[in-house]
Structure 1
Amino acid sequence: MTNRHHAGHPHPHGTEPDEPAQGDRSLLAVLGPGLVTGAADDDPSGIGTYSQVGAQFGYSLAWAMLFGFPLLASIQAICARIGATTGRGIAHNLKRHYSPWVLRMVVALLVVANVINIGADLGAMAAALHLLIPAPIAAFTVVFALVSIAAEVLLPYNRYANVLKWTTLSLFAYPLVLFVAHVPWPEVARGVLLPSFSFDHDHAMGLVAMFGTTISPYLFFWQSGQEVEEQRRRHTKPLHVSPRRYVTSELRRIRTDTLVGMGISNLTAQAIVIATAATLHVHGITQITSADQAASALRPVAGDFAFALFALGIIGTGLLAVPVLAGSAAYVISEAFGWTEGLDRPAREARAFYGTIALATLGGLLINFMPIDPMTALYWSAVVNGLLAPPVMVVTMLIARNKAIMGNLVIGRGLMIGGWLSTAVMAAVALLFLFA
């Protein structure tokens, strides 16, 4: 691998930063890419995974979410810093500084996994709405796909970013379920704080599914790309050519945004595991194959309100996750081919970028009308994501520690340890997935 460019060359866009210090900004103003990325992590397919873990294993794997939080937060903070420091997304940095075959592999696998995931999420959203409104699932699937495309293509970025922020409120549906279910909190505390693990195939697959769902490559590219979008929106320069005072403030913002976003994501996933363990597992319902099935199974044991909350949460998180999945595919392809990209660009200036968003979403829609079992498709999406994550994380760590790319803003010892530990855990998860 060779380095062909130095971070010292200023990025062409932006003016001198003129932002208030973080202490002068409200928390809502500080939250942005990290919050949206964290919320998108709990997409309908993820909800199905967490529901299955809770239903099958009760509270015995609840510790994995607590263990995984610092790993997720570390790697996402590193991705955000790459985008903010260089003014370019991860794929763009890969293209500029590393071997082309690495980029080609990442692009191909990420796009395939994202399209399959979009298809699974669209199907889950439609099935969840069907539980509430008895109408054809196929029609709902088409409507959700078109709404997702229209939101990304037609809404101005400022308004769209705010829509994404407010859509994260749908995650609160899952903690609310805990208030209407009978939860034995001492037993929950033991499951969360006292790790236990049985070395058998089922537990291995459960653990793999949780980590594979939580730490997904598309999140890396989305958060990095969104940091670049934020710089364009605020007309600021990349951090490597910004004044020290501004850099310090921005790094604090990224840390706060990422910790809050990943914290909410982690707590939501934990709430789903606990809710399904407290309702489905204790009643002997141990096999859940989709998020909408989890909602249906909740109804007789937890009541209509819990059922409705669960179903509405699936729809809300899907409306957030599908654009993120399509958007991350568009970022990585556009950066790889040098196309004009960015949700802040008018459609006429970034036709290929928005066209990729539309094609990825329509490709996911098409999967729902093919003779493909959705859970089989989702399984293979998880396989691709699980195998793709470790090499992408390795390259991400190399970028983050490369002074030729990051200048004097290479990540420090704490993030370096957290990032490499996260990478090692995901490599172990990939091996477990292959050989368990």
Structure 2
Amino acid sequence: MAAALTRRLRMLLRSIGPGIVTGAADDDPSGIATYSIAGAQLGTQLLWTALITWPLMAAVQMMCARIGQVTGRGLSGNLRQRFPRWLLIVFILALLVANTINIAADLAGMADAAEMISGINSHWFEVGFAVLIAGATVKLSYRRIANVLKWLVLVLFAYPITAILVGADWGAVARAALVPHLPHSSGQWSMLVAILGTTISPYLFFWQASSEVEEEKELGRTRLADRKGATTEELEMRRIDVGVGTFFSNLVMFFIILTTAVTLNRHGMTHIETTRQAAAALRPLAGKFAAMLFTIGIVGVGFLAIPTLAGSAAYAFAETFGWREGLNQTMRRARSFYAVFLIATAGAALLSLAGINPVKALFWTAVINGLLAPFLLVTILIIAADTRLMQGQPSPRWEWVLVAVATAAMFGAGVAMFVV
């Protein structure tokens, strides 16, 4: 028994990779803001979504991981093999715009939180964070960046701890989590679209597949022919990695909604304008320590999410236009790849300094992602079922069905948002 447990633990530790980082990046400041708004406005009404989105998100990320593993290409590289170039360009331009706005709102949210901790004007932090993240990404190798991102995952523990500190009626929590409460107004449907869009988000699709390619390059498989195909063990390791990463992501989502529901919503504080306001509102209700944990989580996860957002756009453009790509490349050897990364980050910093409302921007970015994602998922389903592109290793039927369910659910929520 002990030997079997030890063996499984070793497999889990060996499997830690892109799936953990991608899952954690999903709880970026955009996600935190969206989940906070859901909890503040609707209490625990949408708590059940955390249970539903875990298997759906896991299936989507596993499918993207398999595409990267068995084809040796990122998502854009595979879409280019199957679909017209104009369609791919529409996708990547929409991704760049959504990601830039998302980064801007993330920077604003992080800076607000940092100002709350330090008392220093948030504009200094907006510029400082952007320069620090861009500089580190350009200078450091992929392996060092990946290792840093893995450690940043730990900041997400702030949210379950905060939820435990504030206290809750766990019987009522269980009922809200297990009995779905469907939206009945346009505003509530848009909230559901935002939750789906920030949880099953397009930039994560591109990042997951491209990260698999980077992992293989780190193993010395620099040629496309060397990267094609994957062993059963490699696929199983990534399944564990993605499963754990997405579970943790949705666990954090659950506790953020719960924390704001039992504090802000319960005391009538349903209107949140800034991430700093969300954290500050927790202080008199949950204590200074809980509010500080919430704030530190916002800053820490921003450092995790922004390289993922900018990097996914850079990978998408590089694969579409055939540029040299990768965080393992130097700036001199992959100028166009890094140019997209820097344009997204710099453009986001300028938007952030323009004084956008971070919570509104984060929320509506999540809505845009929720409307864009199902169209992209249709193309991913087609790629994943193509035995030629997938080297005779297409996604298993159960995975394909779950991703199809996620696609239908996102289409349905988007339609309901406009029709109800």
Provide TM-score, normalisation by structure 2: 0.94
8 A contact 1:51–1:272 mirrored in 2? yes
For 2:265 and 2:224, locate their aligned partners in 1 and report how far apart those are by CA, in whole Å.
49
Instruction: Give the direction of change, closer, same or farther, for the CA distance of 1:92–1:157 in structure 2 (3 Å limit).
Output: same
The corresponding residue for 2:101 is 116
Q: Which of 335, 340, 351 is matched with 2:319 structurally? A: 335
Instruction: Give the direction of change, closer, same or farther, for the CA distance of 1:198–1:81 in structure 2 (3 Å limit).
Output: closer
Provide, for residues 248-284 of structure 1, a one-character-per-residue CA deviation record: whole Å limited to 9, x for no partner.
0011011101100000000001010111111111111
The corresponding residue for 1:326 is 310
Matches within 5 A, 1:143-292: 143-236=128-221, 247-292=231-276
The corresponding residue for 2:64 is 79
Q: Which of 23, 27, 51 is matched with 1:38 structurally? A: 23
The answer to whether 1:392 aligns with 2:376 is: yes
For 2:62 and 2:367, locate their aligned partners in 1 and report how far apart those are by CA, in whole Å.
24
Q: Which of 409, 414, 419 is matched with 1:430 structurally? A: 414
The corresponding residue for 2:4 is none
Matched AA of 2:124: A
8 A contact 2:103–2:306 mirrored in 1? yes
Identity of aligned residues (%): 45
Give SS of 2:272's match. Answer: coil
For 2:163 and 2:180, locate their aligned partners in 1 and report how far apart those are by CA, in whole Å.
22
Give SS of 1:409's match. Answer: coil
Q: Which of 400, 405, 413 is matched with 1:421 structurally? A: 405
Instruction: Give the direction of change, closer, same or farther, for the CA distance of 1:211–1:290 in structure 2 (3 Å limit).
Output: farther
RMSD: 2.0
8 A contact 1:340–1:349 mirrored in 2? yes
For 1:425 and 1:353, locate their aligned partners in 2 and report how far apart those are by CA, in whole Å.
34
Deviation at 1:200, TM superposition (A): 2.0
For 1:384 and 1:49, locate their aligned partners in 2 and report how far apart those are by CA, in whole Å.
13
The answer to whether 1:410 aligns with 2:379 is: no
Instruction: Give the direction of change, closer, same or farther, for the CA distance of 1:238–1:52 in structure 2 (3 Å limit).
Output: farther
For 1:331 and 1:382, locate their aligned partners in 2 and report how far apart those are by CA, in whole Å.
21
Provide, for residues 288-345 of structure 1, a one-character-per-residue CA deviation record: whole Å limited to 9, x for no partner.
2333221111011101000100000000010001110000010001111111001111
8 A contact 1:164–1:320 mirrored in 2? yes
Q: Which of 325, 331, 350 is matched with 2:334 structurally? A: 350
Structure 1 residue runs of 5 or longer lacking an equivalent are 1-21
Matches within 5 A, 1:63-142: 63-142=48-127
The corresponding residue for 2:345 is 361
More displaced, 320-329 or 98-107? Answer: 98-107
8 A contact 2:381–2:400 mirrored in 1? yes
Provide, for residues 155-178 of structure 1, a one-character-per-residue CA deviation record: whole Å limited to 9, x for no partner.
122111100000000100001102
Instruction: Give the direction of change, closer, same or farther, for the CA distance of 1:272–1:375 in structure 2 (3 Å limit).
Output: closer
Instruction: Give the direction of change, closer, same or farther, for the CA distance of 1:283–1:260 in structure 2 (3 Å limit).
Output: same
Deviation at 1:387, TM superposition (A): 2.3
Provide, for residues 230-259 of structure 1, a one-character-per-residue CA deviation record: whole Å limited to 9, x for no partner.
000112489997899x61001101110110
For 2:173 and 2:223, locate their aligned partners in 1 and report how far apart those are by CA, in whole Å.
44
Structure 2 residue runs of 5 or longer lacking an equivalent are 1-6
Deviation at 1:23, TM superposition (A): 6.3
Give SS of 1:348's match. Answer: coil
8 A contact 1:85–1:240 mirrored in 2? no
8 A contact 1:87–1:237 mirrored in 2? no
More displaced, 362-371 or 135-144? Answer: 362-371
Provide TM-score, normalisation by structure 1: 0.91
8 A contact 1:174–1:309 mirrored in 2? yes
Matched AA of 1:220: F
Instruction: Give the direction of change, closer, same or farther, for the CA distance of 1:150–1:243 in structure 2 (3 Å limit).
Output: closer
Give SS of 2:392's match. Answer: helix
8 A contact 2:197–2:371 mirrored in 1? no
8 A contact 1:85–1:238 mirrored in 2? no
Provide, for residues 68-115 of structure 1, a one-character-per-residue CA deviation record: whole Å limited to 9, x for no partner.
111111111000100111010110111122111210110110000000
The corresponding residue for 2:294 is 310
Give SS of 2:180's match. Answer: coil
Q: How many residues align?
A: 414
8 A contact 2:69–2:228 mirrored in 1? no
